[in-house]
Chains A and B, each alone.
Chain A
Amino acid sequence: DQQVKQNSPSLSVQEGRISILNCDYTNSMFDYFLWYKKYPAEGPTFLISISSIKDKNEDGRFTVFLNKSAKHLSLHIVPSQPGDSAVYFCAASANSGTYKYIFGTGTRLKVLA
């Protein structure tokens, strides 16, 4: 039962354009969401997070949007750079006595120079 899904396994974007990575979740108890960037054989690197009390959070080139009614979040990267090429994971947690983050299946982003 995949509670966090990233339906696009891969995405290619031209350098300088916007990259939009999507994530859907099924558990309505999730109230905190994170995005991670991962290179092969390395640990995930934290990018940005958002709490369910917000619908948008911005940090430099990265913006995360949360649509609670649709159980959907997205990560926007503007402008995209070749160094952004990596696998991106969204993750979710529930502030209900649990201590774990559930990861999505990942989207491989390739930014073309």
Chain B
Amino acid sequence: AAGVIQSPRHLIKEKRETATLKCYPIPRHDTVYWYQQGPGQDPQFLISFYEKMQSDKGSIPDRFSAQQFSDYHSELNMSSLELGDSALYFCASSLTRNTEAFFGQGTRLTVV
């Protein structure tokens, strides 16, 4: 079965650079979520989209932005990267809310 696809899997950036993470949800899933997981921490909710509209916002820095496109894929744009942005970034999708959310394999971002 098709799963959530994230790219790239690994990304190394320097401080103050920008990064773009991509997420391709499971077909027919209309809701996409982004999470950040630092070392030894639980996944922290960043932002979600339902039917291409932003639906919820969590602890997402102003330096980050995201959008969901007409084909339902989503991109997380991160600017002015800081060392503290180094983390695993997960995308998940679900068939509307309050249903099972399935996660991608994540993107490991390292800021040096």
Report A's interface with B, CB cutoff 8 A. Answer: 31-32, 34, 36, 41-46, 49, 51, 89, 91, 93, 95, 98-106
Contact = CB atoms under 8 A, between A and B. Distances in A.
Residue in B31, B98, B102, B105 with the greatest tally of chain A CB atoms within 10 Å: B98
B33 interface: yes
B4 interface: yes
A45 B103 contact: yes
A103 B42 contact: yes
Interface residues of B, number: 28
A99 B100 contact: no
Main secondary structure on B side of the interface with A: strand
Contacts of B71: none
A92 B78 CA distance: 27
Given A41-B106, A43-B104, A99-B33, A32 B42 contact: no
Interface of B: 4, 6, 31, 33, 35, 42-45, 48-50, 55-56, 58, 88, 90, 92, 97-98, 100-106, 108
